[in-house]
Chain A
Amino acid sequence: MIYVITFMVLVMLAGAIAACRFKDLLNAVIASCLVSLMASILFYFLQAPDVAMAEASIGAALVTAIFVIAIRRTERQE
């Protein structure tokens, strides 16, 4: 179990760094979506299913969609 959680935290860190470093904003949004998804699974492991549901539906789904729509409206490259 501890290895799974360590792997997920490492994926979160990699996603967060990638979201900052990517020049293509669409890729950055997908990387930040990965962070939210992993955070939601971690909340579930930490026995907080209420927060996990909110994080998965808002952080991973709606925020990503709103950012993608905003990128479509503006420029894709940084």
Chain B
Amino acid sequence: MRQLVSFILIVIIAGGFFLCLDGIPFGISKTSVGDYYKENGVEQTGAVNIVTAVVLNYRGFDTLGEVTILFIAALGLGAVLSTVKDKTKGEITPTSLILWAGCRFLFPFILLFGAYIFLHGHLTPGGGFQGGAIIASGFLLRYLGCPKKRINKSCFTAIESLGGIIFIIVGFIGLATGGFFLFNFLPKGVANTLLSAGIIPVIYIAIGFKVGAELAGIIDGLIEES
């Protein structure tokens, strides 16, 4: 009976949503800001990847907020995990030699791929968040292969803090030279080359290291507790 009532309620809510969204044409832009970015983005920011131009140049301050949210989430998880006292150090099942050798072989290539993603954030799809997540998944693979090998926690915390500090310092240099936060004060260079787009590669390198260290730290904390 309860399931029937909830099913009917869900149907009613879905119908309401459908009626609301039915009048909106799909795939047709209602605002002109997207067209403005597409026409002037490459010229104004120097980044060929328009998504990156929007994320770090037009909407750079929002990205700082996103990075802060991720930092607070990692901090909260660390605080919760540190209250768990009974560290049942069960016997770690030793992995086979083949698995460990395979993980060790793949690990540097995954790190290289992640670094490629965030270094080329202004040229190809991807960026600091994606590259950092790929680097963290490399660390995850390493933990699955050999749970005994630990990362240096304090080193990772230092990298994480350094990434955040570089982001904010770059923003303040822009404030000092150009008059507003995250002003693109470096030369824009020739579009479609690696050294172009001013501060975008600098910030994406900082974000890549920060996100990679943060997510790897989260995985390390969780595996340590289990």
Contact = CB atoms under 8 A, between A and B. Distances in A.
Interface of A: 49-50, 52-54, 57-58, 61-62, 65-66, 69-70, 72-73
Contacts of B137: 57, 61-62, 65
How extensive is the interface on chain B, given as a class? 20 to 34
Given A49-B125, A62-B133, A73-B225, 13 more contacts: A50-B49, A50-B51, A50-B130, A53-B130, A57-B133, A57-B137, A62-B215, A65-B137, A65-B140, A66-B222, A69-B223, A69-B226, A72-B226
Contacts of A65: 137, 140, 219
Q: Quick one: which of B130, B215, B218 has the most chain A CB within 10 A?
A: B130
A21 B105 CA distance: 39
Contacts of B219: 62, 65-66, 69
B129 interface: yes
B133 A54 contact: yes
20 contacts: A49-B125, A49-B126, A50-B49, A50-B125, A50-B127, A52-B125, A53-B126, A54-B129, A54-B130, A57-B130, A57-B137, A61-B137, A61-B140, A62-B133, A62-B140, A66-B222, A69-B219, A69-B222, A69-B226, A72-B226
Contacts of B136: 62
B207 interface: no
Interface of B: 49, 51-52, 117, 125-127, 129-130, 133-134, 136-137, 140, 215, 218-219, 222-223, 225-226
Contact of B125 (A53, A66, A70): A53
Main secondary structure on chain B at its contact with chain A?
A: helix
B63 to A, nearest CB: 13
Nearest to B88: A73
A62 B215 CA distance: 9
Nearest to A52: B125
Contact of B126 (A50, A58, A61, A66): A50
Contacts of B126: 49-50, 53
B4 to A, nearest CB: 17
Q: Which 8 interchain pairs have the tightest Cβ spacing?
A: A49-B125, A57-B133, A53-B130, A73-B226, A61-B137, A69-B222, A50-B51, A50-B125
A62 B130 CA distance: 12
Contacts of B129: 54
A69 B219 CA distance: 9
B178 to A, nearest CB: 27
Q: Quick one: which of A50, A62, A69 has the most chain B CB within 10 A?
A: A50
Nearest to A47: B125
Contacts of A50: 49, 51-52, 125-127, 130
A72 B223 CA distance: 10
A9 to B, nearest CB: 15
